[in-house]
Amino acid sequence: MHIEITVAFSPSARVVHEIPLCLPLGATVAQALEQSGLQKLFPELDWRLAGVGIWGRKATMDQVLRADDRLEIYRPLRVDPKVARRERFAKQGARTTGLFARQRPGAKTGY
């Protein structure tokens, strides 16, 4: 008996490579990654160190796959999201973001 899954990898923004696979029942994430051929397409990708997930939820290399799973390989973050948010906030200024953007005329800042 076999299961069909999809392996997805995005090497850059707005570019997604999806590879459909037919694997034996009981196949693991590591086996699927080996059979996907992504190592040949992207030699710089070390999928053993990359984060992986199934339908957006973190997965381990020894996790067993089920039919119609979408196995995703995640790129490492280039910028810490918290740092990026702080930088955006500093650029915009406090008066143009969040709760401070819409206020009653004559109201105090932050109300």
Strand order in the sheet with 15-24: 15-24, 2-12, 70-74, 51-54, 57-58
pLDDT, residue 19, reads: 94
Domain boundaries, the chain: 2-74
Whether the predicted pLDDT of 111 surpasses 60: no
The rounded distance, in Å, linking the Cα atoms of 3 and 102 is: 52
Alpha carbon 23 to chain centroid distance?
Answer: 23
Q: Which tens digit of pLDDT belongs to each residue from 28-80? A: 999 999 999 888 888 887 777 788 999 999 999 999 999 999 999 998 877 88
User: What contacts 27, CB < 8 A, 6 or more positions away?
Assistant: 3, 64, 65
Tokens of 12: 């850059």
Pick the CATH number of 2-74 from 3.10.20.30, 3.30.360.10, 3.40.50.1100, 3.40.50.1220: 3.10.20.30
Residue 65, judged by CB atoms within 10 A of its CB (0-12, 13-18, 19+), counts as buried
pLDDT, residue 70, reads: 97
Of 8 and 87, the one with more pLDDT: 8
Tell me what the pLDDT averaged over the chain comes to: 84
pLDDT interval class at 103 (50, 70, 90): low
pTM of the model as a whole: 0.70
Measured in degrees and rounded to the nearest 5, phi and psi for residue 19 equal -120, 115
Q: What percent of the chain has pLDDT over 70?
A: 83
